[in-house]
Chains A and B, each alone.
Chain A
Amino acid sequence: RKEVEQDPGPFNVPEGATVAFNCTYSNSASQSFFWYRQDCRKEPKLLMSVYSSGNEDGRFTAQLNRASQYISLLIRDSKLSDSATYLCVVNAGSGNTGKLIFGQGTTLQVKP
């Protein structure tokens, strides 16, 4: 089992659609959770950190379920510019070594 698993997609959605990405992680000791966005041939950019209570930033909502070891990202009112690969990222358990584990990424294509 991979340490962080995501559905690779691609997700092809029309503009204005709502799309949800899911991610599961295997290490119950993980404490920090993030969503990064990566455009083709660019570096990953931090989209949002994911907190236990869930958090929202504009059209983006992230949720964490520690019991199920599950993280989600919801994008509302999709824009063409949301087309990218979304990486679910989890820290590598306790110890806070700075080591992050990346999922394989989910590709989103928003079409006009």
Chain B
Amino acid sequence: DTEVTQTPKHLVMGMTNKKSLKCEQHMGHRAMYWYKQKAKKPPELMFVYSYEKLSINESVPSRFSPECPNSSLLNLHLHALQPEDSALYLCASSQAPAGYYNEQFFGPGTRLTVL
């Protein structure tokens, strides 16, 4: 089962709201990722968690706060976002970041609109 699930599918929030995006996988993968994708652009990496520890932060603003409660779950906490943060937020997982051909499997994404 190569499935990564994400909730919610859609989210509309104001600039003063606090919300969270959730991601779950049950494939035993030990690496999980958050990406941001704008229309007609490729996904941009935001964060990498490896064995539940944050290993890469691509200079993401602090209004985005990732959390990995356990090896199956990944959250992205949102606070004081800007309208330009509106995008598709994708979660992905892979067996582990190390090793060759560590294919990443993506969830369906959360489409976020910031008003």
Q: Which positions in A face B, CB cutoff 8 Å?
A: 31-32, 34, 41-46, 49, 51, 87, 91, 96-100, 102-105
Contact = CB atoms under 8 A, between A and B. Distances in A.
B105 A32 contact: no
A105 to B, nearest CB: 6
A96 B98 contact: yes
B41 A104 contact: yes
A98 B55 contact: yes
Q: Is the interface of A mostly helix, strand, loop or mixed?
A: loop
Interface residues of B, number: 28
A32 B101 contact: yes
Interface of B: 31, 33, 41-43, 45, 48, 50, 55-56, 88, 90, 94, 96-109, 111
Most A C-beta atoms less than 10 A away, residue of B33, B55, B106: B106
Contact of A97 (B43, B48, B103, B109): B48
Contacts of A32: 100-102
Nearest to B105: A46
A44 B45 CA distance: 13
Given A43-B108, A45-B106, A46-B103, A98 B42 contact: no
